Structure 1
Amino acid sequence: MPPTSAPSLRTGERPGRNDRPSEDRILATPSGDAFVVLDGVSTLSDDRPRGGWYADTLGKLILDCLASGPGVELTEVLHDAISAITREYALTPGASPAATVSVVRLGDTVVEAAVLGDSPVVVTGHDGTVKVLTDTRLAELVETRPQAAEYRRRLAAGSGFDDGHHRLLVELRDAQMGWINRPGGYWVAEAVPEAGRQAVTATWPRAQVAQILAATDGVSSAVDDYGLYSWAELAAACRADGPQAVVDAVHAAEEQDAHGRAWPRYKQSDDKALAVLDIPPTG
């Protein structure tokens, strides 16, 4: 039986720095049956950050692909959208801006999601159960690099986000680039269309889903790294206070740990985007 009322999408967004626009994006179809959350990543050589442009442009192409082929697998949607942006703008692997991507599509009987990179999707059932769809390949790779352990040690010791911290991040980024979009490494939307087919996917019966959210790592760090919430608690906070309040709370917590001693991390405060789709029960 079709749903008795329409789903409702709510969002929260905030740049990590006041002097630089956010490179995270949230885009949705006019009908509200699909949405995309992206975290843009600029190249180290960019004079002007292009990650936001890439995320915005790719997100719109993903929505176009969703509209043109409602039955197409989400991995193929991502493949086709990455192909289109790579071809149209003559992007080169390794020298292109990139983005993590989460796509959620709501059908009559199922809810589908695809995750490419560290922007998880979290589903809360009408029975209160919580399921998390994550792509941990980059995190697993980073954990093996000595630079990651070193920058955390320095921050915990009180060095702050200084030049030495920046040097370690450049070294870490260079090491990551040797494993981008290749088997045994990690996959992200960039200039290699095959990455789309490597996204992590899941499907749930629509009748069981009460809420589905997607977040960039600026928000998911509150669960995975800071311990401010469990995923169930974060989802509940979105229901009670709204996603913007959650985003603001995470940002405020980072400001209170301005030197990264309590939570050694990549940067003082990251861009944040959080999309929450509330799905009424079926009649």
Structure 2
Amino acid sequence: MTPRIEVAERAGVGLDGAIRPSEDVVVVLPNAVVLLDGATSLDPSLPSGGWYASRLAGELAGRLAGYPDTDLADLLAGAIKSVARDNGLVPGRSPSSTVALLRWTDTVVEGLVLADSPIVAFTREGPSLLADTRIERLPRGSGYRDQLRSGGGYGERHVIALRQAGQTTARRRNVEGGFWVAEADPDAAHQAERTTWPRDTVTTVLMATDGVTCGIDPYGVFADWQALRDLATTSGPESVLDQVRAAELDDPAGTRWPRPKPHDDQALVVIDYSVDYTGEDR
């Protein structure tokens, strides 16, 4: 049985506030979904996170299709290694991306998450969250957030403060005690959070980037994942993006919810296992 898959994507803005192509990437395969969130580059000398995410997604798609039984972490490690080798990327001095991988057979659904793009499976027992929260546990400086809370807005001072915060975060990337993300070190793949669910217990799976998950925390637009799923399945995933964006439009200067940009890229995937592609109920 083939699940029904719906994808909603929307570009945010760059550090200059201008709309530019989304750095989130979604690839849908016959038995897998790849979702990546390329990190906005704070160093103009480096390729963009979207550039990296698109290349990594291509490598992952080819490997998922060509090696359907290979361990997901091994597939990811091989993809990271290939992109780094082909483009001369160096650990600690390269663009990066989150990774969320979902793959299924007739009997099992597998999930892998690296950094903050979670997967939520809805089963008979309720929502089952697969998330990598290590970046959330890092000590947070107050710099750019305090500036925004005090009404500083998204000007040049904000960009300077954001770059300073980014330098601190970069020192904790792909090291023990820090956080792990796809970049140029293949070993990061084996630090991913993983789980499996019996296929016959799963009704729906959500995959999302942080431009969507912020609708739960910190915005509180949705009380929980169940509320987000209910809207996505009744009104479509675009309606979820609409509500998150509406909250941001009510806080244009970031005083209520200090954040790096007024609008982040958004990507949401809804995989419905209760109805196959013919529309027949399971």
- 1:139 is aligned to 136
Displacement of 1:158 in angstroms is 2.1
Match of 1:115 in 2: 113
Q: Deviation of residue 270 (structure 1)?
A: 0.5
SS in 2 for 1:201: strand
For 1:61, the equivalent position in structure 2 comes to 59
Question: Which runs of structure 2 are paired with 1:94-133 in the superposition (5 Å)?
Answer: 94-125=92-123, 127=124, 129-133=126-130
- Of 6, 29, 39, which residue of structure 2 is paired with 1:10? 6
Structure 1 unmatched ranges of 5 or more: none
Q: In the TM superposition, what are the counterparts of 1:262-281 in structure 2 within 5 Å?
A: 262-280=256-274
Matched, 1:27 2:27: yes
Q: Give the partner amino acid of 2:262.
A: Q
Q: Does 1:222 align with 2:219?
A: no
**Structure 1 counterpart of 2:130, which letter?**
L
SS of alignment partner, residue 166 of structure 2 = helix
**Length-normalised TM-score, structure 2:** 0.91
Segment of structure 1 superposing worse, 191-200 or 151-160: 151-160
What is the deviation of 1:48?
A: 7.8
Percent identity, aligned pairs only, is 40
| 1:67-123 per-position Cα deviation (integer Å, ceiling 9, x unaligned) | 222222211111111011111112111221111010000111111100011101111
For normalisation by structure 1, the TM-score amounts to 0.91
Q: Which runs of 4+ in 1 moved over 6 A?
A: none
* Pairwise CA distance, 1:251: 1.2
CA contact under 8 A between 2:46 and 2:94: conserved in structure 1? no
1:132-164 deviation per Cα after TM superposition (whole angstroms, max 9, x unaligned): 1111111211xx132xx3433332232222333
Distance 1:200 1:48 in 2: 28
Residue 208 of structure 1, aligned match among 189, 201, 206: 201
1:153 aligns with 2:146: yes
Q: How far off its partner does 1:14 sit?
A: 0.6
Residue 213 of structure 1: how far off its partner (Å): 1.1
Q: How many residues are aligned here?
A: 272
Q: Specify every segment of 5 or more residues in structure 2 that has no aligned partner in the other structure, as ranges.
A: 276-280
Segment drifting more, 100-109 vs 44-53: 44-53
- For the aligned residue pairs, the C-alpha RMSD in angstroms reads 1.7
Supply the AA of the counterpart residue of 2:182. Answer: A
Given residue 207 of structure 1, which amino acid in structure 2 is its aligned partner?
D
Structure 2 counterpart SS, 1:279: strand
Whether contact under 8 Å (2:219, 2:247) holds in the other structure is no
Structure 2: distance between partners of 1:88 and 1:166: 31
Distance 1:242 1:192 in 2: 37
The answer to whether the 8 Å contact 2:143/2:165 transfers is no
**Aligned equivalents of 2:106 and 2:176: distance in 1?**
35
Measured in 2, the distance between the counterparts of 1:92 and 1:42 equals 17
SS at the partner of 1:223?
coil
